[in-house]
Amino acid sequence: MKISNQLSLDTLTLYRVIAMIMVVLYHCTCYYASPTWPFGEGPYDPIMKVMTTLMGGIHMPVFVFISGYLYWTLKHKGHYNNLLLFYKNKVLRLLVPYLVIGNVIVLLFSDLYQIEQLLYGICHLWFLQMLFGLFILSPGLWYLLETVQNDRLVTGLVMVSFLFFPFFAETNFLEITKIFYFLPFFLLGYVLQRRGVTETYKDWVFWLSLMGSFTLLFALCPKSLFMDKVIREYASFLAIIVVTLIPNFVIPKGTKLLVENISNNSMGIYLFHQIIVACLMMTPTIKGWLDTTNCYSGVLFLFSTTFVSSWLLSIICNQYKLTRLLIGSKLQ
């Protein structure tokens, strides 16, 4: 099968839906896999631990890559030229729902979270704060990369972005650490949009610069950081490369409306799912059942209940202008 030079909208939509399913499933399996899970700890299961590790390395990088790819695509088409309007849009789409749902989490789980934690990426909402930081940087990155005419030099510069993370590894304020951790995934979207998938991956400069940055980090950064974070970052990056090598999808007409509906409600699902799964896990009757039943049945119950509930809640919120604003949906 021939690999397309550009990723289709159907492909990106399907990737977003799959990543969203993985996010919800990840937080449902954490009950049986993470001894530090804040909302309750169930009987440990090693298979669940493997599942969370694998999903944890792919779902957020996929979201960041899609965000980057779509941003650079629209930027190349002449969008986002009004900088103030661009930042206003990102405040409405990312910071408003972050603050709204973040305060809900503080109110509901006051024994676990305090208001000042909003400055450090509260609960699962850290992603919104981190993504906003990437969009703050994106106009400057666009100007820098667009002034470079040589595609191979641009590719090398993008790989250099891996080197920033160790310098900010302890800077948790406003999710600065994660901004630089995920920066290469965001910029990969730029390279693939500018050069195309096939041209990028057949270029030896791409692979040499990737290996070069990895070697430099191995030599220079603390070994504990390298083993715990850097290897995972590169493994996730390679996983994204594999994903983008899959030929473009055409979503069948019979499922297109369903897939697009989930995709359009992905923000709402993301915002609500953690609250729902936490309430389920912390309800004594349900927790008692989760602790005694087969862990696979427990995860299936948590996932199906959480996904459907957050999806329906998102659909309801998207019916009204005020609630659309509060959850960061586009205003109609």
C-alpha count within 13 angstroms, C-beta hemisphere, residue 78: 0
Inside any domain, residue 43: yes
pLDDT in tens, 279-322: 999 899 999 999 998 899 999 999 999 999 999 999 999 999 99
pLDDT score at 166: 80
Measured N-to-C along each axis, helices 253-264 and 266-282 cross at an angle, to the nearest 10 degrees, of 70
Report the C-alpha gap between 225 and 210 in whole angstroms: 18
pLDDT digits (tens, 9 = 90+) for 97-151: 999 999 999 999 999 999 999 998 899 999 999 999 999 999 999 999 999 889 9
> Cα(271)–Cα(124) distance, rounded to whole angstroms?
8
Q: Is the pLDDT of residue 186 over 70?
A: yes
Report residue 225's pLDDT band, with 50, 70 and 90 as the boundaries.
confident
Rounded CA-CA distance 276/161 in Å is: 36
Does residue 290 lie within any of the structural domains?
yes
CA angle 23, 14, 296 (to 5 degrees): 40
Per the model's pLDDT, the better-predicted residue between 174 and 257 turns out to be 257
Spell out the alpha helix ranges (H) of the chain: 9-29, 46-56, 59-76, 83-90, 96-108, 126-146, 151-160, 176-195, 197-201, 204-220, 223-225, 231-245, 253-264, 266-282, 284-292, 295-317, 321-326
How many other C-beta atoms can be found within 10 angstroms of the C-beta atom of residue 180? Answer: 23
Measure the CA–CA gap between 260 and 12, rounded to whole angstroms.
11
Looking at the domain assignment, is residue 270 inside a domain?
yes
With respect to residue 2, please indicate whether it lies within any of the assigned structural domains.
Answer: no
Whole-number Å distance between alpha carbons of 159 and 214:
9
Q: Is residue 64 part of a domain?
A: yes
pLDDT on residue 114: 92
The pTM is what? 0.92
Length of the chain: 332
Give me the domain span that covers residue 202.
9-326
Q: Which residues contact 153 (CB under 8 A, 6 or more apart)?
A: none
4 lies in some domain: no
Is the confidence at residue 3, as pLDDT, over 80? no
Buried b (16+ CB within 10 A) or exposed e, 287-299: beebeeeebeebb
pLDDT value at residue 2: 43
Q: What is the spatial distance between Cα 113 and Cα 36, in angstroms, rounded to a whole number?
A: 15
Alpha carbon distance 176, 160 (integer Å): 17
Q: How is residue 307 written in tokens?
A: 């996904």
- Whether 33 is covered by a domain: the verdict is yes
Instruction: Give the dihedral sign, CA 163/172/138/227.
Output: positive
Interval 242-253 mean pLDDT? 84
* Domain annotation covers residue 331: no
Question: Worst-scoring range by mean pLDDT, 10-24, 209-223, 300-314?
Answer: 209-223
How do residues 30-44 score in pLDDT, each as one tens digit? 889 876 678 878 888
**How many distinct structural domains can be found in the chain?**
1
Highest-scoring range by mean pLDDT, 2-16, 212-226, 292-306 = 292-306
